[in-house]
Structure 1
């Protein structure tokens, strides 16, 4: 065998070592980049968490003194349609008109010479079941909480609660 057919074992080992060293260097560089990106992402995440905490604290300050929304009273469109199907035209007005004529529903006795009557501006339809009505006389005023039901256009009233305040 000649020297050309069989390369020197020393040269082969050196080139193998160089290849292995290149691979190792490549992996070290990739690992360094990966670690650097991970550190950067951790910093980004911690900044985002700080911003989120700050935003939550500001929101808490704004909502601490928030005024609650008032409850909406009255008849909804669906309730209006239901009452119309039961034979009641213009339910809000009709309920107030009917109640104005029902002074016998007031469960308190007026003193002699005095009579209690409902106040037109004090009749409030709360929903499809209840009405809050103010009444007054010369010496007292009060409120009634009434339940109502509409059957064939007629209103049936029931007194649930009442108060009377002497003037």
Structure 2
């Protein structure tokens, strides 16, 4: 009887060992598959980050902040951030009551005001303007004087029309 108990215990232990062996193999396969998937996800993520970085660099190409030659134009003025200074001066033209004086259109819903500003280089700015319903864009030439005054000259403009 003692021998039968040991035989049953041995068979039971062997079955448990076999079960653990098989289940650990399947678990290892599942973990390997998960690791491979994560590795491919990382590669795809790296590719998408690289594409996004290239897009950002492409969008920043026409920008005063990234144009060392244009920024050198302002070295003698000792301005910490010429882009911000010029954009602030342009936004000050919005403070006048009524339409912005640089916008050659009369606001239809309210007054036309400049919203977005992009300094292209040390001479040109492109802006977006709106009255809340209608919008357009301006191409502005500017000159930053030695006394830190800024002269703005409208080069071209457009007003988008709605087609209803």
Report the TM-score when normalising by structure 1.
Answer: 0.51
Alignment of 1:1-167 (within 5 A): 70=58, 72-75=61-64, 76-86=67-77, 88-102=79-93, 103-111=100-108, 114-119=110-115, 122-152=116-146, 153-167=148-162
Point out which structure has higher relative CO (alpha carbons under 8 A, 6+ apart).
1
Quote how far apart the aligned CAs of 1:137 are: 0.8
Q: What is the root-mean-square deviation in Å for CA atoms of aligned residues? A: 2.1
Counterpart of 1:106 in 2: which secondary structure? Answer: coil
Quote how far apart the aligned CAs of 1:77 are: 2.2
Unaligned runs of at least 5 residues, structure 1: 1-68
Distance in 2, Cα, partners of 1:149 & 1:87: 16
Distance in 2, Cα, partners of 1:84 & 1:117: 31
Distance in 2, Cα, partners of 1:79 & 1:100: 21
Distance in 1, Cα, partners of 2:90 & 2:77: 18
Instruction: Count how many residue pairs are aligned between Structure 1 and Structure 2.
Output: 96
Task: Note closer, same or farther for the CA distance 1:159–1:93 as it changes in structure 2 (3 Å cut).
Answer: same
Runs of 4+ in 1 over 2 A off after TM superposition: 86-89
Unaligned runs of at least 5 residues, structure 2: 1-56, 94-99
Distance in 1, Cα, partners of 2:105 & 2:80: 31
Quote how far apart the aligned CAs of 1:110 are: 1.0
Task: Please list the CA deviations of residues 13-69 of structure 1 after superposition, one character each: whole Å capped at 9, or x if unmatched.
Answer: xxxxxxxxxxxxxxxxxxxxxxxxxxxxxxxxxxxxxxxxxxxxxxxxxxxxxxxx9
Larger Rg: 1
Determine the structure 1 residue equivalent to 2:44.
Answer: none
Task: Please list the CA deviations of residues 45-102 of structure 1 after superposition, one character each: whole Å capped at 9, or x if unmatched.
Answer: xxxxxxxxxxxxxxxxxxxxxxxx9471112223223224246441111111111122
Report the TM-score when normalising by structure 2.
Answer: 0.52
Q: Contact 2:73/2:122 (CA < 8 Å) preserved in 1?
A: no
